[in-house]
Amino acid sequence: MKYLALLTYALILHTISFSQNPVELGDVHWLRDLAQAQSQSKASGKPILILFQEIPGCATCQRYGTQVMKHPLIVEAIETEFIPLAIHNNKGGEDGRVLKLFKEPSWNNPVVRIVDAQLNDLVHRLDGDYSPKEVTVSMVNALKAAQKLIPTYLQLLRESFTENTRQLTFGMYCFWEGEKRLGRLDGIISTTPGYMHGHEVVKVDFDPAIISPKTLVAEAKKQECASQIYTRSEDIQSLNQDNPAIQLEGKFREDQEPQYYLRHTPYIFVSMLPIQASRINSALGHQQDPSVFLSPRQKLTLEYYKKHPDEGQSQAYLGSNFK
C-alpha cells in the first residue's frame, strides 16, 4: 500500500505540472528561468535542453507540443537526462533577454538548443525539423558530447525512428523460438510471429544501416531460424544475388500470441516500443534480465503490476506500444 500511495502521488504531481502547460509545451515539466537552469545544470552535471517556442503559437508550434513533447519516452528523457527550460519567443522581459542572448528570432517556429552550464552548444541548433526523431537524435548526440551515459531506452528510441526499415520473413520449426533468437540482434526493430505458405514464420523489420540483409540472413541461419526465407517483390532481385534461396513472400497470418515469453509476465502491462518488446521477449526467453531495456518510469509501472497483476488486466493500454 505504501508503494501504491507513493506511485499515485508521484503521478498526480506530474499530471498536475504538465496539465497546466500550454499545448505548445506538451507534457514536459519546464523551468522558466535561465539562471535557475544554469544552477541546476552546474549542480547535477546535466545539459540544459532549451525549447524556444511561440506561445500561443501557430499550427506548427502546437503540433510540436502534441506530437513530439507528449511522447512518453521523449518527455522522460528530457526530464531525467537534461534540465528542461522553455523560453517564449514572442514575449519580452526575461524571455526577451534570453532570446537576444542566444540570438534567436522572435515569433519563430520551435527551436531546440542543448547547451552546457556555460551555455555552450553541445550539438547543432535544431530548427526546421519538427519530428520526434530529430529531437531524439539531438539528445543522444548531446549526451555523447557531454560524455554522459546514454540510457538503453533512449538509444532504442533513437533506433526505432529509422526511416529505411526493411523486412524479411524467416521460417523455422517454432516461431516463438524464432522470436526469442532473432529479437535480440542489434538492428532488429520488431518481430511478429505467424504463418506463411503453411510454415511457422517470424516477420522481421530491421534497420539495414545497423544489420545488412546479408548479415541478418547469416545470423538467422546460424540460429537455425531460416528453413525458409521470404521477402517482398521489390527486394527479391537484389537479395537473391547473395541468397538464391530467398522466395517471394505470400499471405501472412499473424499468430494470436506474439511476444510469447513477454506476454506471460507482468511486462505485458507496460506500454513500450516494439523494439523494446522484441528485446525484452528475447531476454525473458534466454532467462536474462529484461528490465535493462526499460526506462525508469516504465520500471516503476512494472514493479507496480508485479504487486497488483489483477489491476493490470483491466487497463485499456494492456500490451500497447508507443508510436
Q: How confident is the model at residue 3 (pLDDT cuts 50, 70, 90)?
A: very low
- Give CATH for domain 12-150: 3.40.30.10
Average pLDDT, the chain: 89
Asked whether residue 9 carries a pLDDT value surpassing 60, the answer given is: no
The segment(s) of the chain belonging to CATH 3.40.30.10 are: 12-150
166's grid cell: 526493411
DSSP three-state, residue 31: strand
Share of the chain above pLDDT 90, in %: 80
Task: For residue 74, give the amino acid letter.
Answer: I
Average pLDDT over residues 213-223: 92
Structure confidence by residue, pLDDT tens digits, 122-163? 999 999 999 999 999 999 999 999 999 999 999 999 999 988
**Higher confidence at residue 259 or residue 237?**
259
Average pLDDT over residues 179-197: 96
Q: How far is CA 159 from CA 30, 249, 289, 313, in A?
A: 26, 26, 21, 30
Q: DSSP character for 68?
A: I
71's grid cell: 511522447
User: What pLDDT does 243 receive?
Assistant: 64
Q: How far is residue 301's CA from residue 294's CA, in Å, rounded to a whole number?
A: 10
Closest-CA residue to 275 (of 202, 206, 175, 178)? 206
User: What pLDDT does 2 receive?
Assistant: 42
249's grid cell: 513472400
User: What pLDDT does 323 receive?
Assistant: 54
User: What pLDDT does 214 receive?
Assistant: 87
Q: How far is residue 291's CA from residue 289's CA, in Å, rounded to a whole number?
A: 6
208's grid cell: 539495414
Q: How confident is the model at residue 8 (pLDDT cuts 50, 70, 90)?
A: very low
Q: How far is CA 170 from CA 167, 202, 252, 275, in A?
A: 10, 5, 12, 18
Q: Hey, what CATH topology would domain 164-323 get? A: Peptide Methionine Sulfoxide Reductase; Chain A (3.30.1060)
The segment(s) of the chain belonging to CATH 3.30.1060.10 are: 164-323
